[in-house]
Chain A
Amino acid sequence: MTPLLLASFTAVSAVGRGLAATLAALEEQRSGLAYCAFETVEIQTHIGEVPGVDATPLPQRLRSFNCRNNRLAQLGLLQDGFAEAVARSAAHWGARRVGVFLGTSTSGILETELAYRARATATGALPSDFNYAATHNSFSVADFVRQTLQLEGPAAVVCTACSSSAKAFASAQRMISAGVIDAAVVGGVDSLCLTTLYGFHSLQLTSRTPCRPFDVARDGISIGEAAAFALLERPPPRLDDDAILLLGTGESSDAYHMSSPHPEGRGARASIQQALLAAGLSPGDIDYINLHGTATPSNDSAEDLAVTSIFGTGTACSSTKGATGHALGAAGALEAVICALAIQQGLLPGGLRTTAVDPKLNLHYLCETRRGNIRRALSNSFGFGGANCSLIFGRPS
């Protein structure tokens, strides 16, 4: 595929607001996970909550979109001059030539969960001020971002559970390749809600302790939340040496089970291979892999098999979910931004909370952050329903 320029990128997660705070947390190996005290949730687990989301106001003209997910989106758009970069892009290409492709898994469903507690006793009706379209519906976040940034190009939300926002990069890439648009705001926004906290708990997939990806004693995920954005553009004829590019995308389906990965990582392997093929790269060209690495026993062992079958045991890998938690529908975009940051800063983030790597897992798992030249990085995202996506980022060759 033709590489695309990441003209701007940013992220907000439990480890901080914006790139500088995210980088500092990765360098200092600081985790944003804390014991769950979200809303009225009574589950013994740790979560990656973003502080200050509820204090983030929305623009007055878009106040109908008010919900935690869109406030988190707004917090993301305000970081690192992202909204200003999009405005320049829209001025250059035209507002109709800039698309919006975002991933989420639960959007603003928290509003519906709260509305169900406030149903009218006599009729069972939801409160009159509850706005389904602008909060609960998955598209709400893309509609909000599109209107905030005053864009008029195509827009959609990708909703493939935990690979949603990685696949948003692939959708946008195809739209730009086909010439439908010249640039796109891509990313993911997912926020804490009761459905995912109680849902993953019902599947016995949440850990009591902060999650420990690839650890011998790993026992589940820590749910997080994040807003992460990138501005993808058709690259100019001459690129700066320090430009960061989206080089390849790969997607596959497990066709195996709704909530368990294929045990040999069949779909994961296919998505990684397709991303390498699309980028025209061989496994040895990848310097760092940001793993899906959820810290469930089954995910990490399936991913280990997929990665080692392609890369062997030498390529440096880590999961950053011990720092940020699992941001679900925003995880793909958050980890894409972490890969871009890793390439830009020459930093290989160590996986936090992992003290004893499972001896049955063979990939080269980094437990300590270290400095090193990264020309190309791969990010894996795998979702419920067996929806897999791998993205490759790198410097111009």
Chain B
Amino acid sequence: MAAVIPLTAYIEGIGVLGPGLADWPSAAAVLADAVPYLAAATILPAPLSLPPAERRRTGGVVKLALAIGFEATTRARVEPSTLATVFTSSGGDGSNCHEICQVLASSERQLSPTRFHNSVHNVAAGYWSIAASATAAANVLCAYDASFGAGLLEALTQVVVERAPVLLLAYDTQYPEPLRAKRPIPDAFGVAFVLAPEARARALAKLTAALTDGGAERMSEPQLEAMRACIPAARSLPLLRQLAQARGGRVILDYLPHARLALEVEPCS
């Protein structure tokens, strides 16, 4: 077997947007038990970073990804145009998919070109690259319920192999009916991390990952645990809780059977 490189990266910035979680500081306050969790529908901001013509064409998934991506890069004080990106999502734009399937099931079958280009799974990556003028590599993954773990593993391997910072964006939005009955994601949730290969002044925590058989950690607060269990990107919540509490130690996140992610977290002071 070849030498194993430790899968280590430094978290420099975090972005969060989800039900009752407006940004990373408000999510951190809830996760550190400073304030109680108050359920509320996710509010997706207009993507002001895009030119008006492009802005009009974007759906929820793009708004969510741009919001968390810019929050993480702003907090990390890094220029977003310089970063390679890893996007991961368990599905595409659910409303857009529903509209396309309706049209294709009708006698007309006249698809709108915008609907079609918004149907690609990498739509958020395409708009991010335009909004952030980001010309580096953008990978876009899907692993159904394992999508967060797949994205984090991909981002960490990029950081250690390429020795360059990476922006990880994990996000999911809900399908409307009738697909919602088959894939009941209750609301939109997204999380983004700026991950760097070396400890710099702005590092929040050091992260070292390994694959494990161990069981994924759960959330003690029932509504947060329901969010973790129902929205693939929210499988990140136990890690976010540890970061919010500036607590060191090991946390196991969900990924695949026989391959969950054990993370050693060391807060940087």
Q: Which residues of A contact B (CB under 8 A)?
A: 42, 96, 105, 109, 112-113, 116-117, 119, 123-126, 130-133, 137-140, 142-143, 152-161, 167, 170-171, 174-175, 177-180, 182, 194-195, 198-203, 234, 251-259, 266-267, 270, 383-387
Contact = CB atoms under 8 A, between A and B. Distances in A.
Contacts, number: 220
Interface residues on B, range: 35 or more
B134 A255 contact: yes
B176 to A, nearest CB: 11
Given A156-B143, A159-B142, A254-B135, A175 B127 contact: no
A161 B146 CA distance: 20
A234 B130 CA distance: 36
Interface string B221-247: 000000000000000000000000000
Given A137-B90, A203-B116, A171 B105 contact: no
B135 to A, nearest CB: 5
A302 B128 CA distance: 22
Contact of A257 (B1, B97, B130): B130
A35 B122 CA distance: 30
Contact of A132 (B92, B109, B179): B179
B158 to A, nearest CB: 6
Contacts of A259: 113, 117
B154 A171 contact: yes
Given A155-B150, A160-B139, A253 B125 contact: yes
B137 interface: yes
Contacts of B139: 158, 160, 167, 170-171, 251
Contact of B126 (A170, A203, A270, A387): A387
Name the 8 nearest CB pairs between A and B, nearest first.
A385-B126, A199-B116, A179-B4, A159-B121, A251-B137, A138-B142, A116-B105, A156-B150
Where chain B touches its partner, the secondary structure class is mixed
Contacts of A117: 105
- Central interface residue in A113, A123, A174, A253, by most chain B CB within 10 Å: A253
B216 to A, nearest CB: 15
Interface string B148-175: 0010011011101110000000000000
A125 B178 CA distance: 5
A203 B179 contact: no
Contacts of A178: 4-5, 7, 156-157, 160-161
A254 B143 contact: no
B211 A160 contact: no
B179 A160 contact: no
Given A137-B90, A384-B122, A96 B211 contact: yes
